[in-house]
Amino acid sequence: MSAQATDATPRAGGLRHKLPGSLAWHIGSLLILAVILYPVIWVIGGSLKESEDIVGSLDLLPGEPILDNYKSLADGIADISISTFFFNSLFLAVGSVIGIVASCSLTAYAFARIRFAGRNLLFTLMIGTLLLPYHVLLIPQYVLFRNMEMINTYTPLLLGKYLATEAFFVFLMVQFMRNMPKELDEAARLDGCGHFRIYWSIMLPLCRPALITSAIFTFINSWNDFMGPLIYLNEPDKYTVSLGLKMFVDQEGLANYGGMIAMSLVALLPVLAFFLAFQRYLIDGMATSGLKG
Amino acid sequence: MGTTVTHAPAMEGLSQDSEPRHGPVKPERPAALKRRRRRENLAGYLFMSPWIAGFLLLTAGPMVASLYFAFTDYNLFDAPKWIGLDNFSEMFGDPRWRHSVQVTLWYVVVGTPLKLVAALGVALLLAQKRRGQAFYRAAFYAPSLIGASVSIAIVWKAIFSDDAIVDRMQKTFGIDVGGWTGDPDMIIYSLVALTVWQFGAPMVIFLAGLKQVPRELYEAAEVDGAGKLRRFWNITLPMISPVLFFNVLLETIHSFQIFSSAYIVGGGAGGNACGPADGSMVYTCYLYVQGFENSRMGLASAMAWMLLVAVALVTAVLFWSQKRWVHYEEGAR
């Protein structure tokens, strides 16, 4: 899984031959990096500027940084404290992670390690849901949850996570479990272990990388999710950060532009932190999903 | 009399031999075999039960319901009323619907290839082993994680608005269109730029594919005197074509479903969710407006089914075409 494996043929020739190519490579990479980073640096700089300077001024960072935009966030949005939105988002994200890791790993274990009648058919159906546009389910699911009087609760946003409806993660874990040596199960069976013991004591520990990748992606997806909360939540004190931010845009966006930009950055921080901490898992997870497709 | 485990059909390679720990292998009787199969089936369905419940309750059931709603007039408050094909004829006759189809197709047709070309190009660059390669790879991937957020959509709207950086850069070239997000014809390109900015995810997949191309192929081609471009066309592209197929499929399907960024970038203070003069009214935006703002659940369901048909068609065409251009290594699948 090392990221360092190489494609470049080691070139013969001395430093003189090597330098120009490597210089071009670094310049190219740095240029792309500048484009990639521009919006992120822009939002950091913008959050430290006076509102009226944010869009018009081309200076990325202000001459005299001010913290007023952040201070204005202390008042909250529409009388609701920012921490409420953060707490709601965190609750949903952690709840989603638990649900996905538990339900998808159980499903993946059955697909990868148990020979039961109908397995291939169910696997095909599961792969089919991977390609199904979510919007086909949007309205009937809304009607369903509305009839169950669950609008304005977190159930519609969490239930699917506990029922393994995210086929991508099931698929990721199946691929991972399939690569585990069969001898492991055999040895465990000889010792009298049933499927649950094998799943719990052998598979889960061995699949930790796949579980961690799924957990991080789930957290980030849940944190970023906008359409789900937009449809199901209608009381501001239940809003997530995404929804709170949209409310900010609609209600105070023009009056407190700097505050809006500061809030945008604050909303990004958890995802950026997760990325910095776990980028290896994320990138390896992405790479595997594509290779074995 | 009984069959031994090794002779049992459909058991090869699986780990179900339960020979006793001590003593020699005993042949198993059919009754025991049958009992064990039953146990395996039971275990399988027990493990699968969350998924099966989810599939029935949240996927299959809603799909059937959605198909039914598509032929009804349904506003959430009164019972759905069967109206046959009226939703579809209204949809096809609605200029706003046709406009949203156009906007979405344009977004898919322009955005997806640009994004994939960027992803492949940068992947080829990063495939060379140089110092800092891992850092660049991680940094280029980051936008794929934050690109769908409301925050980035807000930033995007600002960067592409009148007098902001993109507009100023254009003005230095003598073009003054006054900011992309305020222009009905240009706003869609700010969304295209947003999706291209997120080239990192397909790039990582390309990189993983490039890593698996055997070095010997390049060396042999070089001996034969093939130039860089020839090597790319005749070795790299065919060798990574499965990965390319995967990326094309996934990115195209995703593009059809763009919602949040269009909704935020196009959203104005006046409650217009779809940009100036519906400039950024992608398909799902209109679906949302019809379903959740106008309470036309039947019509919106019909729209959703049209989207499903479109996505299914594109998927089918891509799978059909893969015979012609996707090369699977023997034993790779």
pLDDT value of residue A185: 85
* Confidence grade of residue B16 (pLDDT, cut at 50, 70, 90): very low
| Contact call for B205 and A246, based on CB within 8 A | no
- Would the pLDDT of A6 be above 70? no
Residue A10 lies in a domain: no
Of the candidates A9, A131, A264, the beta carbon closest to that of B151 is on A264
pLDDT value of residue A13: 42
Phi-psi region of B225 (alpha: psi -120 to 50; beta: other; left: phi over 0): left
Of the candidates B127, B137, B304, the beta carbon closest to that of A138 is on B304
pLDDT value of residue B229: 87
Say whether both B158 and B236 belong to one domain.
yes
Say whether both B53 and B92 belong to one domain.
no
| Contact call for B155 and A135, based on CB within 8 A | no
Contacts of B18 in chain A (CB under 8 A): 189-190
Final residue in a domain of this structure, among A9, A38, A66: A66
Say whether both B104 and B192 belong to one domain.
yes
Q: Quick check: B53 and A163 in contact, CB under 8 A?
A: yes
Say whether both B141 and B264 belong to one domain.
yes
Residue B42 lies in a domain: yes
Residue with more model confidence, A33 or B133: A33
Q: State which H helix or E strand residue B73 sits in.
A: strand B72-73
Say whether both B54 and B156 belong to one domain.
no
Say whether both A28 and A95 belong to one domain.
no
Of the candidates B62, B139, B155, the beta carbon closest to that of A137 is on B62
Final residue in a domain of this structure, among A9, A33, A66: A66
Task: Give the C-alpha separation, B156 to A275, whole Å.
Answer: 21
Interface test with A, best of B47, B292, B293 (most A CBs within 10 A): B47
Q: Between the CA of residue A200 and those of A116, A188, B7, what are the distances in Å? A: 19, 12, 30
Q: State which H helix or E strand residue B72 sits in.
A: strand B72-73
Q: Quick check: A144 and A185 in contact, CB under 8 A?
A: no
Q: State which H helix or E strand residue B82 sits in.
A: strand B81-82
Full domain range(s) for residue B247: 86-325
Residue A16 lies in a domain: no
| Contact call for A287 and B204, based on CB within 8 A | yes
pLDDT value of residue A121: 96
Question: What ipTM goes with this model?
Answer: 0.87
pLDDT value of residue A65: 85
Residue A78 lies in a domain: no
Buried b (16+ CB within 10 A) or exposed e, B132-167: ebeebbbbbbbbbbbbbbbbbbbbbbbbbbbebbbb
Average pLDDT over residues B295-299: 95
Q: What's the total number of domains in chain B? A: 2
Q: Quick check: A102 and B27 in contact, CB under 8 A?
A: no
- Would the pLDDT of A86 be above 80? yes
Say whether both A60 and A116 belong to one domain.
no
Of the candidates A138, A141, A275, the beta carbon closest to that of B142 is on A275
Phi-psi region of B182 (alpha: psi -120 to 50; beta: other; left: phi over 0): alpha
Structure tokens at B271: 């409650």
* Confidence grade of residue B272 (pLDDT, cut at 50, 70, 90): low
Say whether both A257 and A162 belong to one domain.
yes
Residue A17 lies in a domain: no
Structure tokens at B217: 């192929």
- Would the pLDDT of B170 be above 50? yes
Say whether both A125 and A46 belong to one domain.
no
* Confidence grade of residue B311 (pLDDT, cut at 50, 70, 90): very high
- Would the pLDDT of B12 be above 70? no
pLDDT value of residue A3: 39
Average pLDDT over residues A58-70: 82
Residue A110 lies in a domain: yes
- A197: buried, middle or exposed (CB in 10 Å: 19+, 13-18, 0-12)? middle
Q: In 3D, which of B29, B52, B48, B30 has the Cα closest to residue B40?
A: B48
Share of chain A above pLDDT 90, in %: 57
Q: Which residue has the tokens 């700097």?
A: A258
3-state secondary structure of A267: helix
Q: Which of A192-201, B264-273, B303-312 bottoms out in mean pLDDT, i.e. has the lowest?
A: B264-273
Task: Give the C-alpha separation, A280 to A39, whole Å.
Answer: 23
Say whether both A120 and A201 belong to one domain.
yes
Say whether both B245 and B150 belong to one domain.
yes
Q: Between the CA of residue B152 and those of A42, A88, A179, B315, what are the distances in Å? A: 11, 20, 38, 29
Mean pLDDT of the residues in chain B: 85
Q: Quick check: A152 and A146 in contact, CB under 8 A?
A: no
pLDDT value of residue A293: 35
Q: Quick check: B74 and B302 in contact, CB under 8 A?
A: no
Of the candidates A4, A55, A199, the beta carbon closest to that of B161 is on A55
- Residue A1 at interface with chain B, using a CB cutoff of 8 Å: no
Full domain range(s) for residue A48: 23-66
Q: What's the total number of domains in chain A? A: 2
Say whether both B118 and B161 belong to one domain.
yes
Contacts of A126 in chain B (CB under 8 A): 51, 55
- As a dihedral over the C-alpha atoms of residue A22, residue A25, residue A27, residue A29, rounded to 10 degrees, the angle is -140
Query: Residue B113 belongs to a domain with what CATH number?
Result: 1.10.3720.10
Q: Which of A78-82, A107-111, B249-253 bottoms out in mean pLDDT, i.e. has the lowest?
A: A78-82
Handedness of CA B115, A132, B312, B300 (dihedral sign): negative
Q: Quick check: A180 and A203 in contact, CB under 8 A?
A: yes
Average pLDDT over residues A123-149: 93
Neighbours of B189 (CB within 10 A): 21
Contacts of A129 in chain B (CB under 8 A): 55, 59
Query: Residue A285 belongs to a domain with what CATH number?
Result: 1.10.3720.10
Interface test with B, best of A41, A145, A282, A283 (most B CBs within 10 A): A283
* Confidence grade of residue B278 (pLDDT, cut at 50, 70, 90): confident
Task: Give the C-alpha separation, B186 to B119, whole Å.
Answer: 23
- Would the pLDDT of A93 be above 90? yes
- Would the pLDDT of B2 be above 50? no
Q: Which residue has the tokens 């936008």?
A: B143
Say whether both A211 and A275 belong to one domain.
yes
Q: Which of A203-212, A235-244, B169-178, B183-192 bottoms out in mean pLDDT, i.e. has the lowest?
A: B169-178
Say whether both B200 and B61 belong to one domain.
no
Task: Give the C-alpha separation, B165 to B265, whole Å.
Answer: 16
Residues 6+ apart with CB under 8 A from A289: A168, A171, A172, A175, B205
| Contact call for B47 and A29, based on CB within 8 A | no
Say whether both A197 and A144 belong to one domain.
yes
Winning range, highest mean pLDDT, from A40-54, B20-34, B88-102: B88-102
Q: Which long-range contacts (CB under 8 A, 24 or more apart) does A26-32 make?
A: A26/B130, A26/B132, A28/B125, A29/B125, A29/B126, A29/B132, A29/B136, A32/B122, A32/B125, A32/B136, A32/B140
Mean pLDDT of the residues in chain A: 87
3-state secondary structure of B81: strand
Residues 6+ apart with CB under 8 A from A144: B57, B61, B62, B65
Residue B40 lies in a domain: yes
Q: Which of A57-71, B215-229, B230-244 bottoms out in mean pLDDT, i.e. has the lowest?
A: A57-71
Query: In the 8-state DSSP scheme, what is residue A80?
Result: B
Say whether both A96 and A33 belong to one domain.
no
Say whether both A130 and A233 belong to one domain.
yes
Say whether both B63 and B207 belong to one domain.
no
Average pLDDT over residues B198-209: 93
Residue A157 lies in a domain: yes
pTM, entire model: 0.87
- Would the pLDDT of A292 be above 60? no
Question: Residues A217-269: pLDDT tens digits?
Answer: 999 999 999 999 999 999 999 999 999 999 988 887 777 888 999 999 999 99
pLDDT value of residue A1: 36
| Contact call for B134 and A3, based on CB within 8 A | yes
Handedness of CA B134, B137, B143, B148 (dihedral sign): negative
Q: Between the CA of residue A127 and those of A121, A123, A174, A211, B124, what are the distances in Å? A: 10, 6, 11, 19, 30
pLDDT value of residue B182: 79
Say whether both B63 and B106 belong to one domain.
no
Q: Quick check: B100 and B285 in contact, CB under 8 A?
A: yes
pLDDT value of residue B168: 75
pLDDT value of residue B72: 97
Residue B298 lies in a domain: yes
* Confidence grade of residue B313 (pLDDT, cut at 50, 70, 90): very high
Say whether both A47 and A106 belong to one domain.
no
Share of chain A above pLDDT 70, in %: 91
pLDDT value of residue A73: 85
Share of chain B above pLDDT 90, in %: 59
Q: How far is A13 from chain B (nearest CA, A)?
A: 16
| Contact call for A107 and B47, based on CB within 8 A | yes
Residue A76 lies in a domain: no
